[in-house]
């Protein structure tokens, strides 16, 4: 069997298409290019945020990303949701490794109340911040 280049094969099998060039850009997908550029820019920006956060908090817990919780959030009521991260001691901050202390804070809203929360004595973290996702 003779050897053909792809172009020679196409010319032999599809002689009616000889000299026909495929369209360079289909206008149907013109917006897709912009979308892909926007998505790439979004993920690059997110990675830049993550790098800045990691530099700011170099001693953060690698297991939970400094959030103090592991797992995922779900809309399923049967799913228990995130659980406390056990990679760090209970009295240590997951963001800066500082010491946590218990404080009473007032929660405002429709039903104001006092709650006890763990707050870092160094960075004032209280399970409300972590590495950008």
Evaluate whether residue 41 is within a structural domain. no
In this structure, what token pair is assigned to residue 60? 């953060």
Domain count along the chain: 1
Q: Percent of the chain having pLDDT more than 90?
A: 24
The answer to the question of residue 16 being in a domain is no
Q: What's the distance, CA 74 to chain centroid? A: 16
Instruction: Report how far residue 65's alpha carbon sits from residue 3's, in angstroms, rounded to the nearest whole number.
Output: 57
Q: In whole angstroms, what is the distance from residue 51 CA to residue 106 CA?
A: 34
Is 55 among the domain residues? no
pLDDT of residue 117: 85
Q: Shortest CA distance to 67 belongs to which of 54, 51, 85?
A: 85
Task: Provide the pLDDT for residue 55.
Answer: 94
Mean pLDDT per segment of 10 residues, for the chain of length 133 residues? 70 74 63 76 92 92 88 79 87 91 86 88 84 76
**What pLDDT score does 24 carry?**
66
- Any domain includes 19: no
- Flag whether 106 is in a domain: yes
Residue span of the structural domain in which 114 resides: 60-133
User: Could you give phi then psi for residue 7, rounded to 5 degrees?
Assistant: -70, -40
pLDDT value, residue 51? 93
Query: Could you tell me if residue 34 is inside a domain?
Result: no
The per-residue pLDDT for 34 is 73
- The pLDDT of residue 33 is 65
Full-prediction pTM beyond 0.75? no
Asked whether residue 17 is domain-assigned, the answer is: no
Q: What would the DSSP string read from start to end of 82-133?
A: -EE--SS-TTB-TTT--BEEEEEEEEPSSS-EEEEEEEETTT---SS--S--
Please check whether residue 76 lies inside any domain of the structure.
yes
């Amino acid at each position: 069997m003779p050897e053909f280049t792809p172009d020679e094969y196409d010319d032999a099998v599809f002689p009616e298409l000889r000299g026909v060039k495929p369209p360079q850009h289909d206008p149907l997908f013109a917006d897709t290019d912009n979308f892909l550029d926007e998505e790439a820019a979004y993920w690059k920006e997110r990675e830049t945020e993550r790098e800045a956060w990691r530099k700011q908090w170099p001693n953060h817990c690698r297991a939970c990303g400094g959030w103090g919780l592991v797992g995922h959030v779900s809309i399923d009521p049967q799913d228990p949701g995130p659980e406390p991260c056990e990679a760090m001691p209970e009295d240590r901050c997951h963001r800066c490794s500082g010491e946590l202390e218990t404080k009473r804070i007032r929660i405002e809203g429709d039903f104001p109340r006092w709650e006890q929360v763990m707050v870092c004595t160094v960075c004032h973290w209280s399970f409300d911040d972590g590495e950008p996702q």
